[in-house]
Amino acid sequence: MKIQPKAPKIPHVRSVHGEAVQDDWFYLRDRENPGTIPYLVAENQYTEAVTEGSRALEQELYDEMVARLQESDESVPCRRGDWFYYSRTEKGKQYPILCRKRSSTAPEQVILDCNRLAEGHPYFAIAFDLVSPDGKTLAFAVNTDGAEVYTLRFKNLGSGEIHPDSVEGVYYSAAWAADSRTFFYTTLDDTKRPWRLWRHTLGAGTPDVLVFEEPDARFNVSIERTRSGQFLLLGVDSHTTSEIRYLEADKPAGEFRLMSPRRQNVEYYVEHQGENFYIRTNENGRNFRLLRTPVSKPAVENWREVLTHRMDVSLERVDGFANHLVVTQRANGLKQLHITDTATGAQHFVEFDEPAYALSSEPNEEYETSEFRFAYSSLVTPRSVFDYDMKSRHRQLKKRFAVHGGYDLNNYASERIVATAADGTQIPVSLVYRKGFERHGGNPAYLYGYGSYGITTDAAFSQERVSLLDRGFVFAIAHIRGSGDLGRYWYEAGKLLHKKNTFTDFIACADHLIAEGYASAEKLAIAGGSAGGLLMGAVTNLRPELFRVVVAHVPFVDVVNTMLDETLPLTVTEYEEWGNPNEAAYYEYIRSYAPYENVEARAYPNLLVTAGLNDPRVPYWEPAKWVAKLRDRRTDANVIALKTNMGAGHAGPSGRYEKLKEKAFEYAFVISRMNAGAETGD
């Protein structure tokens, strides 16, 4: 008999803006409470029990995914100075091995074997691996519990020895100065906000120097070195505002100079090229425009416009090379590469043919080059790495990553359709399915959504997804407001007091798939993670009858309580995304959609919910409280499964095989619940 866990109720009253709300599972925030860990363990045991019948399918899916994998493989080598750097994997090993060679025929030098570093740890991640400009020292930072707090170490690449220097509490951003001895890194405050920049002198034996501290809790601090190698850029940014300080990389003990002081709701980002700084800014144009200023006179009064603002095109990235400038922009929801020869002024675009695709810049470490490396994929085309000659305009395929197991892209089709939102807005939906598919409404479908922070969800390839397509599924991506899929205006139309557009857009996409015969409510699965998990919870409360299965990975569902607690990671920095519930208008609005707040006595779909005990972004208690409340209130007998990873964080398991096991578990849950009748857990 499968007994559903029942988390005890311990009344706790929240009083805000004259409203008293009882939260019976508030205590789950305290992992030291005697009821917390046993409840999570009981939920894990229940999840194992209710999914026992799909174990054979889960193994079948996992075997398929592994069979498609090129288990022993290597990346395309990237030149950096006198070396070619690459990573490779070995069959049966979870993590990559970082390597370099002097030439294609030279002997290999292993820089870092992540498998060795991971030995004895259930989780392993690297924040960065940066080789000094002289090629002699590796700076790297590791974490072994998923909490995203890293330890900085240095390795002598000549002797292979690890330096005694180490620093705890380091975050993702770091950079070498030109002298190959000075290293800059950021550290976290008590809320895990990167707020300080430090300068470390390798082997000096002296205390590290605090270079910069940001007291405003809305802002994060970052550091990078320009591709030219000439400057270090100190970034300070919130969700809406930014400023940059710069320093010559060969003068690491000098003072960072402010490019332009921050102004609320103005963002700008800097790239160096030749005698100029290029500034991408959303001042006087929310989709960003491109400006240029001399390095010798970078003051704002010398900024001159290079690319004007356009309502239908957003500028996302600028890459500077000795003689070229590459602007990554987005039009009609698709990325484009705009190339400028800075000597002649000649401009052109790189063309792509498929109706939906994903495009990203690969590591381009060399400054004195006419080649730009990018990665391309689509819903049917596996990840492909190209070198593009910006002079000859010729592209060379360096590698298309193999997909084994009989995969043939000619057997699949993708398209982009449009759904109409409640207010008449047209919402793009990207689709992929196996050829031979017919729109008769009887097909299973899997609809994915995110829709927050202006993050884009491009139509990228997934070899794991093939297991769904080969079982007759339609896979769809809803390009909803709140994302950056159609530019900055699209993002701003789905945040703060417009957040509900994200949810109603997603529902419109689901309704459209059903109306057009791509799916039916009886065979529609939806999925999203983190803020996309908030989306899952919100739409499930709004239209529970519309979905058969809901997958919510590390879902941000306890929005009101989290955003009221300024001691938690991300809370204050997130006010510009969700609003500050200490203000009555935002409190009422967030309260009206927050999934945990709006669970009712009604029937809900089958749910698979995941959590990470060490998650610093969405604490484990958010999904745990949500599931506890759903169990208490719901009137149906569908399966609710909560799976908490007790040794990882926001991203789930770290090893590549373990990640495939998690995906196989998810897909098995989706398939089995679509094919099963209602099942009681009592």
Backbone angles phi, psi at 66, to 5 degrees: -65, -40
Q: Which residues contact 181 (CB under 8 A, 6 or more apart)?
A: 132, 201, 202, 203, 204
Question: Is residue 434 within 8 Å of residue 411, measured between CB atoms?
Answer: yes
**Looking up tokens 């045991």, which residue turns up?**
45
Task: Kindly name the residue from 237, 319, 558, 615 that is annotated as catalytic.
Answer: 615
Mean pLDDT across the chain, nearest whole number? 96
pLDDT level of residue 676 (50, 70, 90 thresholds): confident
How far is it, in rounded angstroms, from Cα 539 to Cα 499?
A: 12
pLDDT for the residue 367 = 98
The correct answer on CATH 3.30.1330.90 for the domain covering 407-519 is: no
| Catalytic residue selected from 530, 553, 558, 672 | 530
Tell me which residue of 127, 122, 134 sits closest to 153, measured CA to CA.
127
Q: Could you tell me the pLDDT band of residue 678, with boundaries at 50, 70 and 90?
A: very low
Please tell me the total number of residues recorded for the chain in this structure: 682
- The answer to whether the CB of 372 falls within 8 A of the CB of 350 is no
Average pLDDT over residues 1-23: 93
Write down the pLDDT at residue 584.
98
Q: Six-digit token pair at 644?
A: 């908490």
* Positions of CATH 3.40.50.1820 in the chain: 1-67+558-682, 407-519
Q: d(Cα 256, Cα 209) in Å, to the nearest integer? A: 14
Quick check: 140 pLDDT over 80?
yes
Q: What is the distance between the alpha carbons of residues 403 and 589, in angstroms, rounded to a whole number? A: 46
Distance of CA 427 to the CA centre of its chain: 22
Confidence of residue 680 (pLDDT cuts 50, 70, 90): very low
Q: Which residue in 65, 62, 73, 69 sits closest to 464, CA to CA?
A: 65
- ∠ CA 451-470-89, rounded to 5°: 75
Query: Cβ atoms within 10 A of the Cβ of 633, count?
Result: 12
What is the rounded CA–CA span in Å between residue 239 and residue 218?
8
Starting at the earlier edge strand, list the strands of the sheet with 384-389: 358-361, 371-377, 384-389, 394-400
Strands 394-400 and 426-434 come out as unpaired
CATH number of 75-311: 2.130.10.120
Nearest partner of 128 among 146, 145, 143, judged by Cα = 143
**How confident is the model over 349-359, as a mean pLDDT?**
93
- With contact defined as beta carbons under 8 Å apart, do 196 and 213 qualify? yes
Determine the Cα–Cα distance for residues 535 and 224; give it in Å rounded to an integer: 33
In terms of Cβ atoms closer than 10 Å to its own Cβ (0-12, 13-18, 19+), residue 678 is: exposed
**pLDDT of residue 507 exceeding 50:** yes
Structure tokens at 132: 């000094």
pLDDT computed for residue 677 by the predictor: 58
DSSP assignment letter at 481: B
**Percent of the chain clearing pLDDT 90 (strictly above):** 97
In this prediction, residue 573 has a pLDDT band, given cuts at 50, 70 and 90, of very high
Task: Label residue 479 by pLDDT band (50, 70, 90).
Answer: very high
pLDDT digits (tens, 9 = 90+) for 593-645: 999 999 999 999 999 999 999 999 999 999 999 999 999 999 999 999 999 99
Give the active site residue among 222, 650, 654, 672: 650
Beta bridge partners of 97: 88, 113
Q: Is 615 a catalytic residue?
A: yes
Catalytic-residue membership of 650: yes
User: Which pLDDT score, from 0 to 100, does residue 681 have?
Assistant: 42
Cα 316 from Cα 161, distance rounded (Å): 40
- At residue 654 the predicted structure's pLDDT band, cuts being 50, 70 and 90, is very high
- For the question of residue 530 being annotated catalytic, the response is yes
Inter-residue contact 3 to 681 (CB < 8 Å): yes
Torsional class of 648: left (φ above 0), alpha (ψ -120 to 50), beta (otherwise): beta
Distance separating alpha carbons of residues 210 and 205, to the nearest angstrom: 15
Half-sphere exposure in the Cβ direction for 565 (13 Å, CA): 14
- Residue 649 DSSP one-character state: B
Answer yes or no: is pLDDT of 1 > 60: no
Q: Which residue has the tokens 């004259």?
A: 18
CA–CA distance, 255 with 241 (Å, rounded to integer): 22
The CATH number, out of the four listed (3.40.50.1820, 3.20.20.70, 3.90.930.12, 3.30.413.10), of the domain defined by the range 1-67+558-682: 3.40.50.1820
Residue 597, CA distances (Å) to 244, 282, 541, 625 in order: 40, 35, 10, 11
If one counts every other C-beta atom within 10 angstroms of the C-beta of residue 568, the result is: 18
- 12: its two tokens: 């706790």
Residue-wise pLDDT tens digits, 101-128? 999 899 999 999 999 999 999 999 999 9
Residue 662: pLDDT over 80: yes
pLDDT at 276 over 60: yes
